[in-house]
Structure 1
Amino acid sequence: MTLRPHADGSLDRPAPPSVSNGDPDRRRFGLLLLGALAGAAALPRPGRAFAEPLASEPHASGTRIVDLDWTDAARGRSVPARLYWPATSQGRVPLIVFSHGLGGSRQGYRYLGESWSARGYASLHVQHVGSDAALWRGDPLQLVSRLTNAARTQEAIHRAHDVSFALDRILDRAGSPFGAAIEPSRIVAAGHSYGANTVLVLSGAQVVRDGRTIAARDRRIQAGIAISAPAFYGEKDLGPVLGGITIPTLHVTSTGDVINLPGYRSDAADRFAVFDAVGSPDKLLAVFAGGSHSMFTDRALTGGALLNPRVKAATAELTAAFLDLAFHADRRALSDWTAAWQPILASPPRLAPTAFAAPRPGQRRLPGPVLQRAGRVCEPAHLPPGSCLSPA
């Protein structure tokens, strides 16, 4: 078996894992692993994967970058995280909590963290120690076994619990210097590849295994962003798995978003199937033309040297436009985004027929300023009546 690592630690076309026919858990999650393999996040060069930055690192934009090292005592599990904190904010700031792909770390997807913080969002990138950069270290002959274990049911649920635990800690007003400054009614989960599956679990996805429902919904999360979500758990009927998701969701893919492994192929059609199966009417799908599954990571050339940075910039802007829809039912930013990025889109963004047309159950108008975006603050006076919303 030949594994061809890139400088960032991700792999080209690894051989499929050997799955024991006697282990139904491994068998059921084999397809999830295959999808997650191709979405492994960009990593530092081998040998430097765990070189820690300064505890608090300023950025040219004024963004404050803070590494947080937590331990969930109940699970005996470390939960490292990196926080991107906006340089300026007016009132409480919304929070996006991000889940990396298989083999990633809190250091990855920096372009998203910096873009979000520049727009006034705090961004918390959680590292999942059971499926993080440590997978690339150790005996290379055991790599496939480590990757297989990282995609099992237990780790998939642990990842969701990592995010919920990180939210517990960052929102703790007694123990976190940021807790009082975060708006708890505007918390968003985002992720790429395996991390997109984690977002869907947190948003209400569930599967039934041996008569037992496996779920980890976190009701603090008010919207979800799923970038290149693989075929979910290898399930053929996604309706029962994703139909219970009722929060607004954004789905991002490309026509070149292909996982092409021996004996298994997954393309953008699988991302479309995930979008179709999500139960919430408040959902948005964006499809770029060309590209690759890994261009949404920090890798600079995959998907095309010219297209790659444009897709990154467009994706960061799209998430802000989506949140205008999710929290304010304001379509103007999406209209502007579509016009600006039309040259690299395969088709116009797809909305469910009744998406974002009215307040969702349990929402009410906000009495004052809500979400800062692109240097301005969204206030009821700036928007149509009823378009600034929050959970009741």
Structure 2
Amino acid sequence: MTTVNSTAATPIVSVKPIVLPAPGRGADLPVRVTAPVTGHNLPIIVFAHGFGSNLDGYGPLVDHWAAHGFAVFQTTHLDSRRLNVVASDAHDPRMWRYRVDDMTRILDNLDALEAAVPGLAGRLDHSRIASAGHSFGGQTAAVLLGLRVTDPLTGTAEDLSDPRVTAGILLATAGRGGDALTPFATDNLPWLRNPDFSHMTAPALVVAGDADDLPLTTRGPAWTVDPYTLGTGDKSLLTLIGAQHFLGGISGYEVAETTDENPAHVALVQQVTVAYLRHALGIDSSGWNTARAALAGDRYPIGRLESK
């Protein structure tokens, strides 16, 4: 497929950890910022890692996004293996909410984070912010877009959407609850039981692998398409043919957890996500239009793109 990136790659810089005070969290919040070394009015991506990962993960995506003009903010959530969380703590029914609070704390402290990175001050566009995440992180990102999660402790589904976030990228993330869940997921991951996608109205690109057969669901790979089919408003779906949960290797360079290593899948995700974000954030739609034309129907052997 002809490249859909309409900007040339530029050198990037990554600074970590920038530590934000987080009273009541149990640990302060470490943040990694990755951005191009040149350019102004840089749009912002706040990224949530998958269960157990950390702020050093997802280099193939984060580096690519930064090299094409985005400032990317990552943290290490409390479920990270890096923090040596015991299994009982990792399944704390509040874990989903801690993650959302982490993302909100980053947004609340963008000025301080920007000032802490040499050469970045004054170069960010605070009016163009997207949330993104993979797996559990996809649900975290979706909450900022309007997804409502029934809190297992209170039984309520609070609106935690953030008006500062106007678009999203949801990578291989969870679908509906109820009978779509396996007994293990129902018993151990209570934040998956009753998600409500009907309020997720902000524009989002959902990325799903058609071989992503997770042990959390009875529905097979179709489960990760639910955020597209059940979400309302402007949604698009990139389906990777033959891809499993790590979508060819987006979680890191040469990581052992990738079961379906495929550089072509990773390149496709890189290109389409950049094109989508530039379109959804009102920067330039030319790359997105090219991607939609190239990936319509069954024209491209490893992926297809559709919108509603």
Amino acid in the other structure paired with 2:128: R
Write the mapping of 1:339-378 to structure 2, written as runs, cut at 5 A: 343-346=300-303, 348-352=304-308
- Cα 1:344–1:174 change in 2 (3 A) is closer
Amino acid in the other structure paired with 2:80: D
Aligned residues: 277
TM-aligned CA deviation for residue 291 of structure 1:
1.8
What is the rounded CA distance, in whole Å, between the counterparts of 1:330 and 1:299 in structure 2? 29
SS at match of 2:109: helix
Amino acid in the other structure paired with 1:252: V
Does the 8 Å contact 1:196/1:228 carry over to 2? yes
- Cα 1:247–1:239 change in 2 (3 A) is farther
- Please tell me whether residue 203 in structure 1 is matched to residue 160 in structure 2: no
Deviations 1:64-113 (A, max 9, x none): 11002222125453211211110221x32111111000000000001111
Deviations 1:321-371 (A, max 9, x none): 11233133865313433566754434x31100xxxxxxxxxxxxxxxxxxx
Aligned residue in 2 for 1:86: 36
Deviations 1:129-151 (A, max 9, x none): x211236x47xxxx5434423xx
Aligned residue in 1 for 2:172: 228
Write the mapping of 1:137-156 to structure 2, written as runs, cut at 5 A: 137=84, 144-149=87-92, 152=93, 154-156=94-96
Does the 8 Å contact 1:288/1:344 carry over to 2? no
Write the mapping of 1:39-188 to structure 2, written as runs, cut at 5 A: 62-67=11-16, 68-73=18-23, 75-89=25-39, 91-128=40-77, 130-134=78-82, 137=84, 144-149=87-92, 152=93, 154-172=94-112, 176=116, 178=120, 180-188=122-130
Does the 8 Å contact 1:242/1:274 carry over to 2? yes
What is the rounded CA distance, in whole Å, between the counterparts of 1:272 and 1:329 in structure 2? 27
What TM-score does the superposition give when structure 1 sets the normalisation length? Answer: 0.63
Q: Which runs of 5+ in 1 are unaligned?
A: 1-59, 353-392
What TM-score does the superposition give when structure 2 sets the normalisation length? Answer: 0.79
Q: How many percent identity over aligned positions?
A: 26
Say which one has the larger Rg.
1
Amino acid in the other structure paired with 2:232: G
What is the rounded CA distance, in whole Å, between the counterparts of 1:114 and 1:329 in structure 2? 20
CA RMSD of aligned residues (A): 3.0
Task: Give the structure, 1 or 2, with the largest relative contact order (CA under 8 Å, sep 6 or more).
Answer: 2
What is the rounded CA distance, in whole Å, between the counterparts of 2:69 and 2:147 in structure 1? 29
TM-aligned CA deviation for residue 62 of structure 1:
2.5
Aligned residue in 2 for 1:283: 235
Q: Which runs of 5+ in 2 are unaligned?
A: 1-8, 181-191
Amino acid in the other structure paired with 1:65: S
